Structure 1
Amino acid sequence: MKPKYSLFSNTSYALTGLLAMIKNERAFQIELVIIIPALIISFFLPVSLEIHLFLIAVLFFILIAECVNSSIEACVDLFTQEWHEKAKIAKDCASAAVFLSVCLAVGVWAFVLFALFF
């Protein structure tokens, strides 16, 4: 039987997952080292609230994509430790999502910073 929904339990699960990402995923740790200073810098940029929120959103999108990537990799590894073409495709596609989110963030930040300073 499916457990009854509980806001506090579900929030606890999400925070446990976030803590697992911080403790166990090297890529997530590296991204945080880059994203946290960028978030702080964004507060000092002379941009509108909408642009500021957009700059923050694209950074969070990287972290979201990394969480999804890690969950897909964990599920594939749970299913099989052997090399399999479909397992490789699943992992590569999840990794591509992270790559594209990073490209998006870099593009948005470059566009905003270029518009501000040039």
Structure 2
Amino acid sequence: MSGDNLDALSFKGRSGLGRILRAAGYSLAGLQAAYRGEAAFRQLLLLNGLLLPLACLVDVTRGERLLLILVPMLALVVELLNSAIEATVDRISLSIHPLSKQAKDMGSAAQFIALTMIALTWALILL
């Protein structure tokens, strides 16, 4: 078995605090990889950095404020998933294949919808 395979198997067998700590480490590594390697993720962080404080300043109900905060954060989640899809497709092969293109296009479409949700949510609540 390769070293990567052993790491995966040892993680699966863990439980309790050890598993939580390892999972947290993997999550932080994923965030770091996204920040370093994905311009779109950094741009969304900047957008969140602008919108989230603004959401706390505008005069809206608690529910509206929650939407103004959660919807931009959802776009970060979608970007992480989109980047994971792209990395997986590229890992399999860098050659252009219709299914690879379809997977990447769908990930991009999901991000487009998430960005549209930000615009609609903010426009409908504030206008």
TM-score category (smaller protein):
over 0.9
Give how far 1:3 is off: 3.4
Task: Say what the alpha-carbon RMSD is for the aligned residues.
Answer: 1.0
Aligned to 1:72: 85
Q: How does 1:37-116 map to 2 (within 5 A)?
A: 37-114=50-127
Q: State the one-letter code of the partner of 1:110.
A: A
Question: Alignment length, in residue pairs?
Answer: 114
TM-score calculated relative to the size of structure 2 = 0.86
CA distance in 2, matches of 1:23, 1:60: 19
User: Which runs of 5 or more residues in structure 2 are unaligned?
Assistant: 1-8
- Residues 10-46 of structure 1: per-residue CA shift (max 9 Å, x gap): 0111111111111110011111112211111111011
Aligned to 2:32: 19
TM-score calculated relative to the size of structure 1 = 0.92
Paired residue secondary structure (1:82):
coil
> Identity over the aligned pairs, expressed in percent?
32
CA distance in 2, matches of 1:55, 1:15: 25
User: Which runs of 5 or more residues in structure 1 are unaligned?
Assistant: none
Q: State the one-letter code of the partner of 1:16.
A: A
Paired residue secondary structure (1:31):
helix
The structure with the largest helix share of the pair is: 2
- Residues 75-96 of structure 1: per-residue CA shift (max 9 Å, x gap): 0000011010000000000110
Give how far 1:74 is off: 0.2
Hey, which bits of structure 1, 4+ residues long, moved more than 4 A? Answer: none
Paired residue secondary structure (2:102):
helix
CA distance in 1, matches of 2:41, 2:13: 30
